[in-house]
């Protein structure tokens, strides 16, 4: 489950910084920028810079070991799901597997009961962006892409990750979307560096995604994570002044979890209050990892060797990511 706290129903892309007064507004209204979002954008940028910097929680050595255990188990759980996911099973079957495996190992599925969420994981199929509620009525079929989002509490610490699976033979555009979303996640992680702000993550992801024509979801973000599911700051996957408030320091743990859409970045929320869909009902994909910032770079706490074999080790523009 994402930070998955809505960051607002409408977040502007970084392209607004380049718009002229008489250019068409970024929102697609057809109006000139000066007659639409220009004043609100200017007020938003000013208010973001006027806010005080946020101090992210920094883990002790003991807490880091706790986060490693949580991440390790969460990765193991994703590997179990990978072995079972296929056409013909329901999203409820996936949820039962996650709940049983987690509890049999003495841990807690974090999403169960979280703010009223009724299941032990999120399963989001095709145009569902995130927070899909597992159901016996949702049967996976050949050609689907399916995101499974897992969060586990291990001895009081949270591990969080998601992966989008391709069911059988999928369309070329679906396959490319899934691979590029995995790449975008690793590009965002690779951008992390001590002394920068978390905006380097969003800038890197947005540049990669926009160059390939994808919409980057703005309402749902990554987040600080530790002894709490969602800590006091968000990890944005697009360029925004708000992300300049958080400096990256050793000992931080947070998630990077971009959601890329084949069409618009805009989303709709179902009447159930959880399920998020692309507004144009085109495909969406997501990957997520929990990471630890170290003095030397980044440690991905939820990455397992089998995940590398499944495609997490990718080459982007000649650069190899682990």
CA-wise closest residue to 274 among 135, 181, 96: 135
User: How far, in Å, CA of 19 to CA of 311, rounded?
Assistant: 38
Token code pair at residue 35: 């007659």
Token code pair at residue 241: 């002044």
Strand, helix or coil at 154?
strand
Distances (CA, A) of 118 to 1, 77, 81, 91: 12, 19, 19, 13
- Determine the Cα angle at 292 with ends 316 and 296, to 5°: 75
**Tens-digit pLDDT string for the chain (322 aa):** 444 443 332 334 444 445 677 777 766 667 777 677 666 665 555 555 557 888 899 999 999 999 999 999 999 999 999 999 999 999 999 999 999 999 999 999 999 999 999 999 999 999 999 999 999 999 999 999 999 999 999 999 999 999 999 999 999 999 999 999 999 999 999 999 999 999 999 999 999 999 999 999 999 999 999 999 999 999 999 999 999 999 999 999 999 999 999 999 999 999 999 999 999 999 999 999 999 999 999 999 999 877 766 554 444 444 444 4
Distances (CA, A) of 92 to 97, 126, 139, 261: 9, 16, 9, 25
User: How far, in Å, CA of 193 to CA of 294, rounded?
Assistant: 9
Distances (CA, A) of 96 to 92, 114, 229: 6, 17, 21
pTM score, whole prediction: 0.83
Indicate the helix (H) or strand (E) that contains 268. strand 267-269
């Amino acid at each position: 489950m994402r930070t998955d706290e809505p960051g607002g129903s409408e977040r502007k892309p970084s392209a607004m910084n380049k718009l002229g007064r008489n250019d068409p507004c970024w929102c697609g209204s057809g109006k000139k920028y000066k007659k639409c979002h220009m004043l609100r954008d200017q007020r938003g940028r000013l208010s973001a810079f006027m806010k005080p910097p946020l101090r992210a929680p920094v883990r002790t050595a003991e807490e880091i070991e706790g986060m490693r255990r949580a991440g390790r188990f969460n990765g193991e759980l994703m590997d179990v799901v990978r072995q079972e996911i296929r056409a013909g099973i329901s999203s409820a079957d996936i949820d039962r597997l996650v709940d049983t495996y987690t509890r049999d190992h003495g841990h807690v599925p974090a999403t169960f009961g979280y703010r009223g969420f009724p299941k032990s994981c999120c399963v989001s199929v095709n145009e569902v962006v995130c927070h899909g509620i597992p159901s016996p009525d949702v049967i996976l079929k050949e050609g689907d892409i399916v995101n499974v989002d897992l969060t586990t509490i291990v001895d009081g610490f949270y591990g969080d990750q998601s992966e989008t699976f391709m069911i059988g033979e999928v369309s070329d555009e679906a396959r490319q979307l899934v691979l590029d979303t995995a790449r975008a996640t690793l590009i965002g992680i690779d951008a992390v560096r001590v002394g920068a702000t978390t905006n380097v993550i969003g800038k890197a992801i947005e540049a990669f995604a926009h160059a390939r024509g994808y919409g980057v979801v703005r309402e749902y973000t990554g987040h600080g994570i530790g002894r709490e599911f969602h800590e006091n700051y968000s990890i944005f996957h697009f360029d925004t002044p708000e992300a300049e408030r958080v400096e990256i320091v050793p000992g931080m743990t947070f998630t990077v979890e971009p959601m890329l859409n084949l069409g618009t970045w805009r989303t709709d929320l179902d009447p159930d209050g959880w399920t998020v869909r692309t507004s144009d009902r085109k495909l969406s994909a997501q990957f997520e990892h929990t990471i630890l910032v170290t003095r030397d770079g980044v440690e991905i706490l939820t990455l397992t060797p089998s995940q590398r074999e499944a495609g997490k080790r990718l080459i982007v523009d000649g650069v190899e990511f682990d």
